[in-house]
Amino acid sequence: MIGRVALPERCANVCFGGLKRNRLFMAASQSIYALYVNTQGAVGG
């Protein structure tokens, strides 16, 4: 495990986004959470 993000509900999906792909989006049961991180995510397609 690299790390853990504590959310108040269960997370179902994650995706990197933003201009520099340094924002982690987390889709939970009834909410969407976003967190800036110090790395870039992989390019999706």
Q: Is the pLDDT of residue 45 over 80?
A: no
pTM of the complete model: 0.82
Contact criterion met (CB below 8 Å) for 23 and 10:
no
Give Cα separations from 1 to 5, 10, 12, 45 (angstroms).
Answer: 11, 18, 17, 25
Confidence of residue 44 (pLDDT cuts 50, 70, 90): confident
Q: What is the pLDDT of residues 1-30, one digit of tens each?
A: 888 899 999 999 999 999 999 999 999 999
Which pLDDT value is given to residue 43? Answer: 79
